[in-house]
């Protein structure tokens, strides 16, 4: 089974597909979820936590070196399992670092880019809520009836940067400026597959499932 990196702008459906893949292939894959790792670090009341909170609340991205280092540490924990990462590839430098780390170990990564229109980003983020305790994310578009976290039953809230139109605009602008060139680099290595993120969840999953099974 191939290593899989799910890419795409925030709220393009990466997390949803990652959860489905874990349910289907949980015993065969190791999950690297950048968001949860960074949110755990953000919860610390120290200089690192404050640094990350300031970045996120301003709609900016974490430095490449930090993410690549976290990923390399993660690779050392693998035990004959495939990698699943839904943190997206942010910039060219980070992308090279991540792919180099995989290729140097003789692994066979594939990057799936979920594509959605810019206006859909605003729509989906305006309906996103997060658990105050475990940081699980919910969509009121998909599950309008949910008022509490279904994992730990804590209160859900809207993140400040999800409610701030300027912060969302900053994320979109940075994605277009920094991430799209990174994905073009991936494409130059013949490792990129683009999927229409406006399809149904099941239709997207079926395509990704086939890619995960294909080792060639």
Euclidean distance between CA atoms 34 and 4, whole angstroms? 14
Tell whether the model's pLDDT for residue 178 goes beyond 60.
Answer: yes
Domain 3-116+172-213 class, CATH top level:
alpha beta
Where are the chain's structural domains? 3-116+172-213
Tell whether the model's pLDDT for residue 214 goes beyond 70.
Answer: no
| DSSP conformation class of 67 | H
Beta-strand pair 128-131/137-139: antiparallel
pLDDT digits (tens, 9 = 90+) for 81-94: 899 988 667 789 98
pLDDT digits (tens, 9 = 90+) for 38-97: 778 888 888 888 988 888 777 676 778 888 888 898 898 887 889 998 866 778 998 999
9: tokens are 């702008």
Instruction: Give the list of residues 6+ apart from residue 166 with CB closer than 8 angstroms, or none.
Output: 59
| DSSP conformation class of 148 | B
């Amino acid at each position: 089974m191939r290593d899989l990196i799910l890419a795409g702008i925030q709220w393009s459906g990466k997390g949803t597909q990652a959860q489905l893949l874990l349910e289907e292939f949980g015993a065969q894959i190791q999950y690297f979820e950048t968001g949860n790792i960074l949110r755990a670090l953000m919860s610390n009341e120290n200089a690192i936590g404050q640094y990350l909170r300031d970045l996120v609340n301003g709609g900016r991205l974490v430095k490449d070196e930090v993410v690549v280092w976290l990923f390399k540490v993660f690779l050392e924990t693998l035990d004959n399992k495939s990698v699943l990462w839904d943190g997206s590839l942010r910039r060219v430098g980070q992308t090279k670092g991540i792919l180099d780390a995989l290729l140097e170990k003789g692994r066979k990564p594939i990057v799936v880019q979920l594509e959605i229109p810019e206006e859909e980003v605003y729509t989906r983020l305006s309906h996103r809520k997060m658990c105050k305790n475990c940081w699980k994310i919910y969509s009121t578009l998909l599950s309008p009836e949910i008022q509490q976290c279904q994992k730990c039953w804590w209160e859900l809230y809207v993140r400040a940067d999800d409610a701030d139109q300027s912060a969302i605009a900053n994320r979109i602008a940075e994605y277009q400026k920094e991430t799209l060139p990174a994905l073009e680099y991936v494409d130059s290595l013949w490792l990129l597959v683009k999927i229409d993120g406006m399809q149904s969840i099941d239709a997207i999953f079926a395509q990704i499932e086939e890619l995960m099974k294909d080792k060639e």
